[in-house]
Structure 1
Amino acid sequence: MTIEVGIKLEGKVTGITHFGAFVDLSGGVTGLVHISEIADNYVKDVNDHLKIDDVVTVKVINVDKDGKIGLSIKQAVDKPASEQRPQRGPRPDRPGSRDGGKPGFGNRDRGGRKSSYNAPSFEDKMSRFLKDSEERISSLKKNTEGKRGGRGARRM
């Protein structure tokens, strides 16, 4: 029997590690169920969910070129449509979304509040940086000129 991505199989747990469980499928073929693919909720310890010789239904999620088979227990369980999460797409009310968003929603700060601040251009940022740095350098020069002499006060 060939193992293909997407098929569901019955298998027997043959080994448990801290990162997952090894499942014997058929004919000596073994795959790994990663700890993140065991259950829908957080799995701290694999031993809390699986025991050696448990028979489980798994879904093949990937087959590597070197023969490694990735399995999933949580994807093998068919969920009702009400429990499945809807796929998330771009949000039209967010700045930077591809469809441009709703009118008037583009100027929002991180808190979601309306902001009249328009982002400065690169040239504006550079000129402000140069101005600030020149002010700081001149202030440092003024404050350090008097401290350069050895003893005594400022020399004039």
Structure 2
Amino acid sequence: MKIGEKITGVVKGIQPYGVFLLLPNKRQGLIHISECQSGYVGNINQLFTVGQTVQAMIIDIDEYSGQISLSLRAMEERPTPRKYGSKHTWTQRKTRLGFAPLASEMNGFVCEALKKYKNA
């Protein structure tokens, strides 16, 4: 077994913090709750059942204790990142104006806000 390898195991125990898998060669591995899926896991018992066969990726092997850490999240397909050309930006990348346009209008913003909230 090595880190990055995909391995199949059988769920032998479910705890609030993760799932224990029985792996080949009678080894045991843990899928921590944070590695079960991307995002929040409200109830781990809704994702797994004892006896279920699961394929996971080895993400760590402790050399002293021999404990194996597994992940399902590492096997998820990641979305393709967007390119900057198609993403709308609120500033122009070529000009280096910074906050100067806002600073020049700041007094007007403050006066407008004071008028609005004085009458409220």
Asked if TM exceeds 0.5, the reply is: yes
Q: Map Cα deviations across residues 12-67 of structure 1 (whole Å, 9 max, x no partner).
A: 01111000001111111111001111122421111010011100000001112221
1:36 paired with 2:34, answer yes
Percent of aligned positions that are identical: 29
Q: Note the aligned Cα RMSD (angstroms).
A: 2.5
Q: Which of 60, 77, 81 is the aligned partner of 1:86?
A: 81
* Aligned-pair CA distance for 1:75: 2.1
The corresponding residue for 1:24 is 22
Structure 1 residues not aligned, in runs of 5+: 88-92, 94-100, 117-156
Tell me which amino acid in the other structure corresponds to 2:79. Q
The corresponding residue for 1:145 is none
- For residues 38 and 20 of structure 2, what CA distance do their matches in structure 1 show? 19
Tell me which amino acid in the other structure corresponds to 1:53. G
Superposition map of 1:27-66 within 5 A: 27-66=25-64
TM-score by length of 2: 0.66
- For residues 85 and 7 of structure 1, what CA distance do their matches in structure 2 show? 23
Contact 1:15/1:52 (CA < 8 Å) preserved in 2?
yes
Superposition map of 1:1-156 within 5 A: 3-66=1-64, 67-77=66-76, 79=77, 83-84=78-79, 86=81, 103-105=96-98, 107=99, 114-115=102-103
- For residues 20 and 61 of structure 2, what CA distance do their matches in structure 1 show? 14
RCO greater where, 1 or 2, for CA within 8 Å and sep 6 or more? 2
Structure ID, larger Rg: 1
Higher relative helix content: 2
The corresponding residue for 2:117 is none
Contact 1:57/1:76 (CA < 8 Å) preserved in 2?
no
Higher relative strand content: 2
Greater than 4 Å deviation, 4+ residue runs: none
Q: Decide whether aligned partners of structure 1 residues 69 and 85 sit closer, same or farther in structure 2, where only a CA change above 3 A counts.
A: farther
Q: How many residues are aligned here? A: 93
The corresponding residue for 1:130 is none
Q: Decide whether aligned partners of structure 1 residues 13 and 102 sit closer, same or farther in structure 2, where only a CA change above 3 A counts.
A: farther
Contact 1:62/1:69 (CA < 8 Å) preserved in 2?
yes
